[in-house]
Structure 1
């Protein structure tokens, strides 16, 4: 019997606040859009996120994302 796939907390297209937990390329904005859902890594769900302020996408762990406080 198959185990059910873990459910991601956020959905593609949803706006979230990104609060990075480690150093790297500093976030140029706080509000990001979920671009795609990624498989778990190290027991944590991951996402591709993008903000209009950057020309590239980022990978974020679910623990680094919060429901956005700004209206959509």
Structure 2
């Protein structure tokens, strides 16, 4: 399965319940989670990293509802 996002790219979380706001940098690709590409991401204003599945992310600045 091909990953949609590249390391050092900027993404944001798809807005929903408990979705953090802001811009996040892809730190590294992780093994798939339940068959879906996963990533370690770091918020530009956070001291820690998060793990996110591809369906939880979109390219930074993409319009809501976009397939990016």
Same fold, TM-score > 0.5, yes or no? yes
RMSD over aligned CA atoms reads 2.0
Match of 2:47 in 1: 55
2:60 aligned to 41, 64, 68, which one?
A: 68
User: How many residue pairs are counted as aligned between the two chains?
Assistant: 62
Change (3 A) 1:38 1:22: farther
Q: Which runs of 5+ in 2 are unaligned?
A: 63-68
The whole-number CA distance in structure 1 between the counterparts of 2:55 and 2:15 is: 9
For normalisation by structure 1, the TM-score amounts to 0.73
Larger Rg: 1
TM-score scaled to structure 2, two decimals? 0.77
Tell me which of 6, 21, 37 is aligned to 2:29. 37
- Runs (4+) of structure 1 exceeding 4 A deviation are 20-23
